[in-house]
Amino acid sequence: MTESAAVLRSVDPEGEFGLDVPEYFFYLLFQAVRRRDAAFERALAGLDLTLSQWRAMSTVRRFGSCGMSELSAFTAVDRTTLTRSVDQLVRRDLVARETPASDRRQVRLSLTPEGQAMYDRAVLQLLSFNRSALEGVDEARRREISRGLATIIRNLAPDDNFAEALIRFEPERIRASTRRG
């Protein structure tokens, strides 16, 4: 058997899927995430927000205040795009950028009152959008899939603390992990 034939089988041995299950799982995951992101970005356009701006705003909102390293870890948006998105949010007075006197190298981000109002409008769209996207998937299945995805994150994360920070959306774990790394 050639190496490429051993790496990827073109057909599920049980005949249910077009690829073997591990490859098909990630193919479907990619397709679902891309389609969800594209559709949600279209919904955000009415608020004049991009998806990366929304991710930045929602993460800052969750943290209360955060730095760019934490924001980058939780949004999974590349640093260049993230910096551009944050700059745009700051110009629109949706996010405030502050530099603590104790460490001028650090930059802390927080939502402004205008940013909180925009977040409130956008999150209503998100909640409705997610419910529509998950229509037909019962609560037990959603939990099962979520547990499976959490396991995959644990398998792929650089360390256990970082994985748990992402899974539990706990900023303090990310802060501790980035201080050590």
pLDDT at 54: 96
Q: What is the pLDDT of residue 172?
A: 75
Q: Could you tell me the pTM of the whole model?
A: 0.82
Q: What is the pLDDT of residue 82?
A: 93
pLDDT for 106 equals 83
- The residues near 162 (Cβ < 8 Å, ≥ 6 apart) are 73, 173, 174, 177
Token pair, residue 54, equals 């929304």
Please give the pLDDT value at position 19: 81
Q: Return d(Cα 71, Cα 82) in angstroms, integer.
A: 8
Separation between Cα atoms, residue 94 and residue 67, nearest integer Å: 16
Buried b (16+ CB within 10 A) or exposed e, 6-31: eeeeeeeeeeeeebeeebeeeeeeee
Supply the pLDDT for residue 79: 87
Q: Is the pLDDT of residue 121 over 90?
A: yes
- Between CA 122 and CA 47 the distance in angstroms is 7
Q: Is 66 left (phi over 0), alpha (psi -120 to 50) or beta?
A: beta
More confident residue, 16 or 124: 124
- Is residue 105 predicted with pLDDT exceeding 90? no
Q: How confident is the model at residue 88 (pLDDT cuts 50, 70, 90)?
A: very high
Query: 111 pairs with which residues across the strands?
Result: 95
pLDDT attached to residue 48: 96
Residue 170 has pLDDT above 60, yes or no: yes
Q: H or E segment at 170?
A: none
DSSP code for 66: B
Q: Could you tell me what percent of the chain has a pLDDT over 90?
A: 59
Question: How confident is the model over 6-51, as pLDDT tens digits?
Answer: 455 567 777 788 788 888 999 999 999 999 999 999 999 999 999 9
